[in-house]
């Protein structure tokens, strides 16, 4: 019998990669999606399976983290061996505009799920998507022992969810883990998070669709990793003998400014000519510096991220350029390399030529 896993937030960035990963390991994957008036399954359309097929290994169910009745029914009916709770109002800036809603979904959503597990009496392993945003102002580098000092309604809601997860582990002996993940990105990252906003803008600028990019604070530093690598570590946490909490990140901080320089620089543009500040993107309180200390995950989960900052930027830009019908920079260089066998003698010049040609196409 295939193992059954339930994912909340399966339509999000992490949920989609995790679903792919679990399917590849032979799981039957159940996902909770929200009812919307238009399709909201774009990130998982490529793994969609006909629900009429009794053998389907991906099954979607309507549900919402605001409704405990529905969550209880789903857990009771599916009886999953593993539950990955990724659903949340996950945008920090938005949480200042919708603090109560963020608390209801991001904090209480976790209690609703844990209570459904406890009441159903099923034996399951539970993963809570905790966040480095919980550290807020705490000095870097941050690890599993760093006290939380949240700086946003989102961060505060995640701190609540973190502790209720620990409480159900201690009070009811449930197998519950917190993955305290630092920022992780990909071509599937939501378009309003800063990395994707930047890489998408670069592609739009090259395609002639956008003239300016408006951003907020460029000084804050984040520890940006590559999302597909992080979902495997979620799974590893639930395969351990004992439940525990783990920090995941790269240990490498970069500022938003550095991300801009890397992204625009990759296509031969100077970010300063394209970016303008809009105070509406500033936050009432900001988290200045996040750096993960991942010694525990390295030792206990044998987990180490491979994709580093520069490569992450390249992956995201290439994907956004492809989506705009442009030749991704990496591919453009490969084509030139194949046409000019002695290219290694003047490789850098070719790279620059491709990049500046794409930049000049704007004029
Ligand atoms: P995401 O792309 O924003 O996805 C969030 C998911 O939650 C979506 O599937 C969304 O559904 C669902 N959702 C939102 N409100 C819901 C509700 N009321 N009922 C049911 N589902 C709801 O987030 P992500 O980047 O994949 O992150 C996954 C989780 O990890 C989140 O809990 C996030 O807070 C946390 N986290 C993320 C990072 C990061 O850097 N990505 C770091 C640390 C922690 P729709 O598609 O319908 O909107
Ligand atoms: O991309 P961001 O919105 O990510 P943030 O706030 O770090 O939150 C993300 O990571 C958390 C983990 O630490 C997750 F828990 C959370 O769910 C989410 O995935 O902003 C990154 C930085 C901030 O300092 C922000 O002020 O970029 C700065 N920024 C500057 N201009 C901007 C913008 N952020 C956004 N979203 N949009 C801007 O225009």
User: pLDDT digit string (tens) for 61-115?
Assistant: 999 999 999 999 999 999 999 999 999 999 999 999 999 999 999 999 999 999 9
Is the Cα torsion angle 289, 290, 292, 293 positive or negative in sign?
Answer: positive
- 296 vs 75, 201, 249, 302, 303, CA distance in Å? 31, 37, 11, 9, 9
Q: Decide: pTM greater than 0.85.
A: yes
For residue 67, the model assigns a pLDDT of 94
Q: What is the pLDDT averaged over residues 156-185?
A: 98
pLDDT for 231 beyond 70: yes
The CA 235 to ligand 2 mean position distance, Å, reads 25
The domain limits of the chain are 4-361
Burial state string for 55-78 with b = 16 or more CB within 10 A and e = fewer than 16: eebbebeebbbeebebbbebbeeb
Residue of minimum CA distance from atom 16 in ligand 2: 90
User: pLDDT digit string (tens) for 261-286?
Assistant: 999 999 999 999 999 999 999 999 99
pLDDT for 238 beyond 90: yes
Q: How far apart are CA 132 and CA 148, in angstroms?
A: 9
Residue of minimum CA distance from atom 7 in ligand 2: 183
Q: How many residues does the chain have?
A: 363
Average confidence score pLDDT of the chain: 94
351 falls in which pLDDT band (50, 70, 90)?
Answer: low
Contacts for 160-165: CB closer than 8 Å, 24+ residues apart: 160/103, 160/107, 160/110, 161/106, 161/107, 161/109, 161/110, 161/111, 161/128, 161/130, 162/128, 162/130, 162/134, 162/245, 164/107, 164/110, 164/111, 164/114, 165/110, 165/114, 165/126, 165/128, 165/130
Q: What is the DSSP letter of 217?
A: -
Q: Which atom of ligand 2 is nearest to the CA of 278?
A: 39
Q: What is the DSSP letter of 187?
A: T
pLDDT cut 70: percent of the chain above it: 93
338 falls in which pLDDT band (50, 70, 90)?
Answer: confident
363 falls in which pLDDT band (50, 70, 90)?
Answer: very low
Residue of minimum CA distance from atom 32 in ligand 2: 194
pLDDT for 345 beyond 60: no
- Joined together, the tokens standing for residue 7 give 């994912």
Angle at 253 between CA 202 and CA 324, to 5 degrees: 15
Q: What is the pLDDT averaged over residues 321-325?
A: 96
Residue of minimum CA distance from atom 24 in ligand 2: 220
The CA 184 to ligand 2 mean position distance, Å, reads 11
* Non-local CB neighbours of 363 within 8 Å, separated by 6+ positions: none
User: pLDDT digit string (tens) for 3-45?
Assistant: 999 999 999 999 999 999 999 999 999 999 999 999 999 999 9
Among 7, 8, 9, 35, the mutation site with the greatest number of ligand 1 atoms within 8 A of its Cβ is 9
| CB atoms near residue 212 (< 10 Å) | 12
Establish whether 131 is a catalytic residue. Answer: yes
Domain range 4-361, CATH class = alpha beta
* C-beta 90 within 6 A of ligand 1: yes
pLDDT for 47 beyond 70: yes
One of 16, 95, 131, 132 is an active-site residue; which one? 131
- Pocket, ligand 2, Cβ cutoff 6 A: 90, 92-93, 131-133, 182-183, 192-194, 197, 215-217, 220, 222, 256, 281, 283, 286, 290
Q: Express the helix, strand and coil content of the chain in percent, nearest 5 each.
A: 50, 15, 35
329 falls in which pLDDT band (50, 70, 90)?
Answer: confident
Which ligand has an atom closest to residue 132 CA? 2
Residue of minimum CA distance from atom 35 in ligand 1: 129
* C-beta 110 within 6 A of ligand 1: no
pLDDT for 295 beyond 90: yes
Q: How far apart are CA 84 and CA 129, in angstroms?
A: 8
Establish whether 133 is a catalytic residue. Answer: yes
The CA 34 to ligand 2 mean position distance, Å, reads 24
Whether 23 contacts 2, CB under 8 Å:
no
The secondary element (H helix, E strand) that includes residue 115 is helix 108-120
Q: Which residue has the higher pLDDT, 358 or 195?
A: 195
Among 42, 86, 90, the mutation site with the greatest number of ligand 1 atoms within 8 A of its Cβ is 90
Q: How far apart are CA 286 and CA 216, in angstroms?
A: 11
342 falls in which pLDDT band (50, 70, 90)?
Answer: low
For residue 332, the model assigns a pLDDT of 78
Bond into 141 cis (ω within 30): yes
Give the HSE-up count for residue 337: Cα atoms under 13 Å, Cβ half-sphere.
Answer: 11
Establish whether 154 is a catalytic residue. Answer: yes
pLDDT for 121 beyond 50: yes
């Amino acid at each position: 019998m295939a193992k059954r896993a339930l994912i909340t937030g399966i339509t999000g960035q992490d949920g989609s990669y995790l679903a792919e990963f679990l399917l590849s390991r032979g799981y039957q994957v159940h996902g909770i999606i929200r009812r919307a008036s238009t399709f909201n399954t774009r990130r998982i359309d490529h793994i969609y399976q006909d629900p009429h097929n009794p053998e389907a290994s991906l099954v979607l169910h309507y549900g919402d983290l605001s409704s405990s009745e529905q969550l209880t029914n789903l857990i009771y009916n599916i009886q999953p061996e593993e539950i990955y709770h990724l659903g949340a109002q996950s945008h920090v800036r938005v949480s200042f505009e919708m603090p109560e809603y963020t608390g209801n979904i991001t904090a209480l959503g976790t209690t609703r799920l844990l209570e459904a597990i406890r009441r159903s009496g099923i034996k399951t392993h539970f993963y809570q998507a905790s966040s480095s945003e919980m550290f807020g102002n705490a000095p870097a580098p941050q690890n599993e022992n760093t006290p939380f000092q949240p700086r946003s309604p989102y961060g505060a809601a995640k701190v609540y969810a973190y502790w209720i997860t620990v409480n159900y582990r201690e009070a009811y002996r449930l197998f519950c883990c917190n993955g305290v993940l630092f920022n992780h990105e990909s071509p599937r990252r939501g378009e309003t998070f800063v990395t994707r906003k930047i890489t998408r803008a670069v592609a739009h600028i090259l395609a002639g669709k956008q003239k300016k990019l408006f951003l907020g604070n460029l000084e804050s530093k984040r520890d940006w990793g590559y999302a597909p690598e992080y979902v495997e570590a979620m799974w590893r946490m639930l395969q351990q003998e004992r439940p525990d909490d783990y920090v995941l990140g790269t240990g490498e901080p970069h500022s938003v400014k550095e991300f801009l320089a890397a992204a625009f620089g990759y296509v031969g543009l100077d970010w300063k000519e394209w970016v303008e500040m809009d105070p509406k993107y500033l936050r009432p309180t900001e988290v200045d510096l996040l750096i993960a200390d991942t010694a525990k995950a390295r030792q206990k989960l044998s987990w180490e991220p491979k994709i580093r900052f520069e490569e992450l930027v390249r992956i995201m830009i290439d994907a956004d350029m492809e989506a705009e019908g442009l030749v991704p920079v990496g591919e453009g260089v490969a084509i030139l390399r194949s046409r000019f066998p002695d290219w290694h003698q003047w490789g850098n010049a070719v790279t620059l030529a491709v990049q500046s040609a794409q930049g000049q196409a704007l004029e």
